[in-house]
Chain A
Amino acid sequence: MNTRIALTLALMIPATLAFADDRSSAQTALLAASCANCHGTDGKLAGAIPAIASRPATALESQLLDFKHDEQTRATVMPRIAKGYSDEELKALAQYFSNIDAASKQR
């Protein structure tokens, strides 16, 4: 086997994996983009509606599940919204927002 081809093949396997990761993170970013309408871009805007960026993933996930299962009192729209997502999607959203640096200045 030609060394160049072998090298390319060796590189291609992890490259494909890296691409799959990118695609899955882009998919989560698209899912999460809906949250920005009320929580600001990247979930960073704090106001009457709280910021969600940088909060611990476990706390976000359990809160989302509580909304989904109507275990949050004083809730308004979130129980209606959380029911539209699978538990896996809610977990991915919680992890996504926990990884965002709330202090970063990105627009």
Chain B
Amino acid sequence: MTNKSIKNQGLTSSRRDLLKLMGAASALPLLGACSSLGGSKELSARVVVVGGGFGGATAAKYLKRSAPQLDVTLIEPNKVFYTCPFSNLVLAGMRSMDSISHNYDELRALGVRVIHTTAQDVDPVSRTVSLGDGGSVRYEKLLLSPGIDIRWNAIEGYDQAAAEHAPHAWKAGDQTRLLRRQIEAMDDGGVFVLTAPANPFRCPPGPYERASLVAHYLSQHKPRSKVLILDAKDNFSKQGLFMQGWNEVHGDRIEWVGLSGDGKVTRVDAQKREVETEFGTIHKASVLNVVPPQKAGFIADRAGVTNESGWVPVDPMTFESTQVNDIYVVGDATLAAPMPKSGFAANAQGKVAAAAIIASLEGQRPLEPSWANTCYSLINPEYGISVAAVYKIQEGLISETSGGVSATDASATVRKLEAEYAVGWYNAISQDTWGTRR
């Protein structure tokens, strides 16, 4: 930073303080009534957000409500966004696709400019995002919430064409519809095979909730059918609770084979719905659901913020990229362990990044961040389990300050309560992210 810019910053800051003081009398009654993350009324700059999922939509909303004069543009190709959370309920016939859909009307009403196109490239030098519709947008701060992309061919034979026969359904939408149709069309007595990847991947408990709810559907509609999980790891999220729940509710309908039991799938024949494991065992499926290895969404690569892992390293205080200035990245694409790749975490990171962007534009140091996460999973519609945690910065790293999973000896009443809270959580985070009320 040059002397000149330091000087200018000082002038701006004292001018702002004076303005603040002048406005203080009228502003006081509002203090505490509005949850501003620090933006002053006159703060104006162009902030571009790419990706309208949990991370990006939340960031756009909290930027705008904290600093209404900011010019906030959200780039999102889809007019309707389907959430991965609760898409397992759609697969099990418990919910409609419509019930997991969200649009951008409320964000527009807040004053966010929403452009429905793809972000194709980022030039950090000219601070420009080029768009799929041929246009481009300039930014002073850029926030990417790119989600995940599939690592096609990381498992031999699993490419985009294969996903039309053996869906991943790890991005909600047409893939969810396809897998639902296949499950419905499956013969009674057929086997639903789900292959789960090694860590890290989007939604760590997701494959196991999916197995649970598909088993629930099968128990009612195809009672001779089974679920087989072939896993590339030996441990998974909420493992003890899932296995206890499967035992109590699903008996031997669900079989799980971990890495050391030869559960790692290395080849897929999607047409034949057949998989081969590391040590050459062939499993035939009636419905084959491949949850493949993943990486950060491609725009992160284009912006130069990914590292050799395929994911995005960030400064834990701000979620600004450690590789490119003024680009903030949130959600599943980031390396933010011990925070999981969850919608809840993306929402929490979106708020921290929004506050950090505002602080930086005002020339202030970032606020002390904190995040929470809660992931509910359903064993069946009346049996919920959860993992929850609070995270803060300790010695420069994101650390879990408290947390844990549901009690193993919880009563049926508590399991039912957690299933109800799962629905309450879904409604609340949808409202907090997109403004959707159901």
Given contacts A18-B20, A84-B389, A84-B390, 4 further A-B contacts (CB under 8 A): A11-B18, A25-B31, A37-B428, A41-B432
Task: Choose one: A14, A48, A83; the contact of B420 (CB below 8 Å).
Answer: A48
The chain B residue with its CB closest to the CB of A33 is B351
A/B interface sample: 29 pairs, CB < 8 A: A18-B17, A29-B36, A29-B38, A30-B37, A30-B370, A33-B62, A34-B372, A36-B428, A36-B432, A40-B428, A45-B427, A47-B428, A49-B428, A74-B417, A76-B406, A77-B374, A80-B388, A81-B389, A81-B403, A83-B390, A84-B389, A84-B392, A84-B401, A99-B33, A100-B35, A106-B34, A106-B65, A107-B61, A107-B110
Chain A residues in 8 Å Cβ range of B372:
34-35, 37, 81, 84
Chain B residues in 8 Å Cβ range of A31:
370
Q: How far is the CB of B229 from chain A (nearest CB, A)?
A: 26
Q: How far is the CB of B428 from chain A (nearest CB, A)?
A: 5
| Contact A99 B425, CB 8 Å, known A34-B370, A77-B386, A84-B389 | no
Distance of A81 Cα from B374 Cα, bound (Å): 9
The chain B residue with its CB closest to the CB of A17 is B21
Within 8 A of B (CB), among A1-59: 8, 11-12, 14-16, 18-19, 21-23, 25-27, 29-42, 45, 47-49
**Does B380 count as interface, using CB distance less than 8 angstroms?**
no
Within 8 A of A (CB), among B43-61: 61
The 5 closest A-B pairs by CB, nearest first: A84-B390, A48-B424, A84-B402, A26-B38, A99-B32
Q: How far is the CB of A20 from chain B (nearest CB, A)?
A: 11
Within 8 A of A (CB), among B377-418: 386, 388-392, 400-404, 406, 413-414, 417-418
Total interface residues in chain A, CB < 8 Å: 49
| Contact A15 B17, CB 8 Å, known A30-B367, A107-B106 | yes
| Contact A37 B429, CB 8 Å, known A26-B37, A101-B33 | yes
Distance of A87 Cα from B280 Cα, bound (Å): 56
B 420-438 to A, binary, CB cutoff 8 A, 1 in contact else 0: 1101110111011001000
Chain A residues in 8 Å Cβ range of B18:
8, 11-12, 15
**Interface set of A (CB-CB < 8 Å, partner B):** 8, 11-12, 14-16, 18-19, 21-23, 25-27, 29-42, 45, 47-49, 74, 76-77, 80-85, 95-96, 99-101, 104, 106-107
B interface, how many residues as a size bin?
Answer: 35 or more
Q: How far is the CB of A4 from chain B (nearest CB, A)?
A: 12
Within 8 A of A (CB), among B358-381: 364, 367-372, 374
B 65-80 to A, binary, CB cutoff 8 A, 1 in contact else 0: 1100000000000000
**Interface set of B (CB-CB < 8 Å, partner A):** 14, 17-18, 20-21, 24, 31-38, 40, 61-62, 65-66, 106, 109-110, 344, 347-348, 351-352, 355, 364, 367-372, 374, 386, 388-392, 400-404, 406, 413-414, 417-418, 420-421, 423-425, 427-429, 431-432, 435
Chain A residues in 8 Å Cβ range of B17:
12, 15-16, 18-19
| Contact A11 B21, CB 8 Å, known A27-B367, A41-B431 | yes
Distance of A83 Cα from B386 Cα, bound (Å): 16
| Contact A30 B351, CB 8 Å, known A45-B431, A49-B424 | yes
Distance of A107 Cα from B338 Cα, bound (Å): 31
Task: Choose one: B32, B35, B38, B418; the contact of A76 (CB below 8 Å).
Answer: B418
Determine if B428 and A45 form an interchain contact, defined as CB atoms under 8 angstroms apart.
yes
The chain B residue with its CB closest to the CB of A23 is B38
| Contact A29 B386, CB 8 Å, known A38-B425, A84-B372 | no
The chain A residue with its CB closest to the CB of B348 is A34
Distance of A49 Cα from B371 Cα, bound (Å): 19
Distance of A41 Cα from B57 Cα, bound (Å): 13
Distance of A29 Cα from B418 Cα, bound (Å): 27
Determine if A15 and B423 form an interchain contact, defined as CB atoms under 8 angstroms apart.
no
